[in-house]
Amino acid sequence: MFKKKIYILYISIIMENTAKVEMEAMGSVPIGLRYSAGVSPGVPGERALQRFTAENASVFSGSGNNVVRIPVSSGHFLDLKNAVLGYDFKNTTTGGGGVDTSITLDGSAACVIQRIRILDSRSSNEIERVDSYNLVHSVLDQYSSNLTNMQGSNILSGAPRRIQNNPATGTVALTQASKTGTDSAGTQYTIGTLTGQAITINSGLGGKGYVQEEADSLNTGISRHYEFGLKNGWFNPASAKYLPPMVAFTIELTLAPPANCLKKETNAVPGYNAQNFMLSIPSVTLTDPAFQARMNQRLAQGVSWRATTFHHHVNTLAAGAGRTSVQLGERARVLKGFMNIMRIQSNVTDGDKFKLSKRSIQYVDNYQYQIGSTLYPNNQIDIVTEATPVDGGTAANTRLAGKTEQNMNISEAYSELLRVVGGINSSAGTTLIGQEPFAQSELNNGAGLLALDLQTYSDGSVSSGINTSNGLPCVINVQKNSAANVILQLDSFAIAELQIMINPDGIITSMS
C-alpha cells in the first residue's frame, strides 16, 4: 500500500511537470494561471538605504541652469521600484505694487521635471527617455491613486490634499455663523442658517471633487523639501527586478520653465529655484555566501527585464468643429495603449493657468483609433458632457452634473481610461477623478482625457500588446464640436513595453 502511494505521487508529479512544459512551450503564462507558484522563504540578506546626489550640484531653475545629473553605482542590489527623488523647492516669483507673488504647484512637486533620461554611465547609451514627464506624472497621480494615500502624496510631493466632497443636501456639524462668499475657484456659495450646532448647506450639486487649487501654495521666499517616487519605466520594472551590483547609470532631469509648470497670480513674474537633489534607493545585500556565488554565475550570463514606458507625440488641432484624423507615428514592439490629452494651446505656457493638472474632453463628440486597417474599439466612443458647449467648453465657475444635465455620456470613455492605467503599475485602476472633473472644461476643474487599452493580459507579467515597429500606422479619429473653436494641443503618450538588458560586462542596453 505504501509503495502504491509513492507510485501515484510519482505519476502525479510527472503529469504536473509535463503540463508545465507544454504550457511553457506555448509561451509565457500570465501569473494568474501559474497555479504551481507558491511563497518561499526569502534568501538571508540585509536592507539599507543608499543616497545619491547630483554630480553637478548647484542651484537650478527652469531657465539657464536647468539640467540635473545624478550618477548611481553600488556594490549592492538596488530596489529601483522603491526609489524616491527629493529636492528643495523655493518660490522666487517677483512683482511690485502690491502684486500677489504666491504660486501653486501644478499637480505636485514633480511639475518641474520636463524630461527624464536614463543613461548608461559607461557607454552613455540612452536607456529611456520620457518627454513632458510632468504631464504624464500628473495624469498618473490623478488616475492611479485613491483617497487613502492622498494625504501622504500631499506630505511627500505637495499634491492636492483633499477632495471637495461636501454633500448635495443635508446638514454638517459646524459651529460657524451663516456666511456668503466666494471659494478659491471664484464660485459663489452660501452656508445657510444656524440650527442648533449644525449648519444647513444650501447646495443642489455638492462638492466638485478633485480641485487643482488644493495643491501646495507658497509665498515668495518660502522653501520646502519634497520627495516622490518616479513613474517612468526604469524605476518600475514589471516584476520588481533589482538592479544588479556594479551596474552604473545616470538619471538626467531637465527642468521646466516656471510659466509651464506653476500657477501664479495675475501680473506676477513666476520663478523658482531647485537644489539639493537626492535619489534615495533601498539596497539589498545577500548574506548567504552559497547563494551569492550562484547569483554571480547567473549575472555573468547577462540578465534582462521589462517595464512600461511612455513615448510622447505632439500635434496641433486647428480651431473649428469637424472630423479630424491625427497620425500618432508610434513605432513600438509592444504597444500597450494610448493616452491623448487635449488642452487649449495658449494655456500650455500661460503662467496664470493650471496646464499640467487641467485638460478637457469637452472638445470631442466621439473618437476611435485605427492601427493598420483595424479599428479600436469596434465602435466609436461617444462623449456628451453638456448639451450646448461653447468655445473652450463650460464657462468658468459653472457646475456640471446637475438635475437638468441632459444626456451626459462619459462612462465608456472613463472605463477605457481606467483599463489603461490599471495595466501600467497596478492590477486595477484606482482614481481620484470623479464625474465632474472628468467631464469639466479647462476653465473649471477639468481633468479628462482620451485613452485606448491594447493589452490582452493586464497583469503585467507577460508581454501583451500590438507590434507597430514595422511601420503599422497609428491614427486617432476625432469628431470635434463647437467647444473646439480654439486651437488645441494634442499631447499623445504611447504606452509601450521597454526591455532592459544588462550585459555580462555591466553595460546597459534597451529596446522598445
Residue with cell 507544454: 22
Q: Which residues pair with 250 in a beta bridge?
A: 71, 119
Q: What's the grid cell of residue 114?
A: 520636463
Query: Which among 364, 375, 507, 373 has a CA at the least distance from the CA of 454?
Result: 375
Q: Where do the structural domains in the chain lie, given as residue ranges?
A: 45-164+210-511, 171-201
| Cell triple for 347 | 494655456
- Give the C-alpha separation, 122 to 250, whole Å: 10
Could you tell me the sign of the dihedral formed by the alpha carbons of 183, 186, 189, 194, in that order?
Answer: positive
**H/E element holding 482?**
none
> What digits encode the pLDDT tens for the residues 244-297?
999 999 999 999 999 999 999 999 999 999 999 999 999 999 888 888 898 889
C-alpha to C-alpha distance for 357 and 290, rounded to whole angstroms:
51
Say how far apart CA 122 and CA 120 lie, in whole Å: 6
Q: CB neighbours of 14 closer than 8 A, spacing ≥ 6?
A: none
Across 370-383, average pLDDT? 94
Residue 6 above 60 pLDDT?
no
Res. 353: pLDDT tops 80:
yes
CA-wise closest residue to 356 among 47, 115, 194, 139: 139
Q: Is pLDDT at 38 greater than 80 in this prediction?
A: no
Nearest-angstrom CA–CA distance, 204 and 214: 22
Least confident segment among 295-309, 339-353, 362-376:
295-309
Which amino acid is residue 374, in one-letter code?
T
Cβ neighbours, 10 Å, residue 207:
16
Query: Mean pLDDT across the stretch 212-216?
Result: 95
Does residue 309 have a pLDDT over 80? Answer: yes
Do you find a cis peptide bond into 504, omega within 30 degrees of 0?
no
What per-residue confidence (pLDDT) applies to 63?
Answer: 84
What does the pLDDT read at residue 12? 44
Three-class secondary structure assignment of 374-439: EEEEEEEEECECCCCCCCCCCCCCCCCCCCCCCCCECHHHHHHHHHHHHCCCCCCCCCCCCHHHHH
Class of the CATH-defined domain 45-164+210-511: mainly beta
Nearest to 119 by CA among 67, 82, 49: 67
Is it the case that residue 493 has pLDDT exceeding 60? yes
Distance between CA 106 and CA 308 in Å, rounded? 24
- Distance of alpha carbon 356 from its chain centroid, rounded? 11
CA-based nearest residue to 327, from 283, 370, 364: 370
pLDDT reported for residue 188: 58
Residue 169 has pLDDT above 90, yes or no: no
Question: Can you give the pLDDT at residue 17?
Answer: 53
Amino acid 471: pLDDT: 87
Please tell me the distance from the alpha carbon of residue 415 to that of residue 420, in angstroms, as a whole number: 9
Mean pLDDT, range 379-389, rounded to an integer: 83
Check whether 87 has a pLDDT greater than 50: yes
Beta bridge partners of 488: 317, 344
Q: What pLDDT, on a 0 to 100 scale, did the predictor assign at position 5? A: 43
Burial class (CB in 10 A: 0-12, 13-18, 19+), 393: buried
Residue 358 has which C-alpha cell?
487641467
Name the nearest CA neighbour of 131 among 375, 258, 382, 310: 310
Residue reference for cell 553600488: 74
With vertex at residue 154, the alpha carbon angle to CA 151 and CA 156, rounded to the nearest 5 degrees, is 110
Backbone angles phi and psi of 314, in degrees to 5: -120, 135
Q: What is the DSSP letter of 251?
A: E
Q: Kindly indicate the confidence band of residue 27, based on its pLDDT and cuts at 50, 70 and 90.
A: low
Measured CA to CA, the distance from residue 129 to residue 283 in angstroms comes to: 24
Q: Tell me the mean pLDDT in the region 480-500.
A: 95
Q: Which of 364, 325, 324 is nearest to 342 (CA)?
A: 364
* Alpha carbon distance 309, 337 (integer Å): 11
Q: Which of 392, 425, 439, 318 is nearest to 82 (CA)?
A: 425
Mean pLDDT, residues 82-109: 95
Alpha carbon of 480 to those of 212, 325, 449: distances in Å?
26, 11, 14
Cβ–Cβ < 8 Å for 468, 497: no
User: What residues have CB less than 8 Å from 420, skipping those under 6 apart?
Assistant: 336, 337, 338, 339, 429, 451, 452, 453, 495
Residue 328 in contact with residue 474, Cβ under 8 Å?
yes
Query: For residue 165, which of 214, 199, 198 has the smallest C-alpha distance?
Result: 214
